[in-house]
Amino acid sequence: MIAQTNLSGFCSNPKNLHFPPQSSPSFIRSPQIVSFKSISNPTIPINVSSKRLLQCSSISQSSDVFPSDVDESAGGLRRKKLAVFVSGGGSNFRSIYEATVNGLVHGDVVVLVTNKPGCGGAEYARDKGIPVILFPKPKESISEDDLVDTLRRYEIDFIILAGYLKLIPTELIRAYPRSILNIHPSLLPAFGGKGFYGMKVHNAVIKSGARFSGPTVHYVDEHYDTGRILAQSVVPVLADDTADKLAARVLHKEHEMYVDVVAAICEERVIWRADGVPIIRSKNNPDEYC
């Protein structure tokens, strides 16, 4: 059943749902080591005990990039700070960034991490005045702890993977529990795992004879595409489909659904059932879940 938003799942008032007392929206507050607003040096030291640096683009301090932290229209919630990871064109990153600017997402993209500094996503970030961090950095021994320290200096709340093709370090997953999301272009757990990305996924779906596909947003763990599923959206596989045609339809759903999910986490509407499954509370009716 398709929910009223772009999330596939259920929106109901389930009387038999019981959440543990410690359940809370899926977010963490990073240690406030360095305020992002106070940074003016374009080169950010990432480890006070090390001379190694991650090179960042110049950091804009315009009010467009840094709106007020607290919005009364959003119930007094603090705007969340997002780090987006990309390796390619970054179309999902662009959709999310535009949604933050247009007020659809109660958060801000404050830094972009990439392993390909010349990719389209990185160029777009620079055009918008968003700092770009290169990780991993070729020919230099920059540790995972250095990356964690850098993100904490930016006071990052959530990490959003948008076509980042490197396996996320265990150190980062431990530092940001239940706070790293990825989007995959198939209905996981089908057609996921190492080697399944991009057009390889869509070719495999068509060759399998599957009648349905679609994107999945899931939490990130130590392995490829095995984290807890948060949202899915169904796309039919047509009889005369090619991988290119299917990819275009799935990508359109990705742009819609990922924005909806990021909006939900920034509004603290993700809760965890007693069995460890994350679900999204409806924005319009807090007694319904999507």
CB neighbour list of residue 193: distance below 8 Å, 6 or more residues apart = 223, 224, 225, 226
Helix (H) or strand (E) holding 27: none
Q: Which parts of the chain fold into alpha helices (H)?
A: 91-101, 120-127, 144-153, 170-175, 199-208, 243-266
Rounded Cα distance, 119 and 106, in Å: 27
Quick: pLDDT tens for 73-97.
567 899 999 999 999 999 999 999 9
Assess contact for 113 and 191: CB atoms under 8 A.
no
Model pLDDT, residue 263: 98
Quick: pLDDT tens for 199-252.
999 999 999 999 999 999 999 999 999 999 999 999 999 999 999 999 999 999
Quick: pLDDT tens for 131-155.
999 998 777 756 899 999 999 999 9
The residues assigned a catalytic role are 184
Residue 49 has pLDDT above 90, yes or no: no
Taking the CA atoms of 287, 182, 134 and 148 in sequence, report the sign of the dihedral they define: positive
Please tell me the pTM assigned to this model.
Answer: 0.78
Confidence of residue 41 (pLDDT cuts 50, 70, 90): very low
Between residues 147 and 58, which one has the greater pLDDT?
147
Q: List domains and CATH numbers for the chain.
A: 36-280 (3.40.50.170)
Helix (H) or strand (E) holding 207: helix 199-208
Q: Which two tokens stand for residue 237?
A: 């596989």
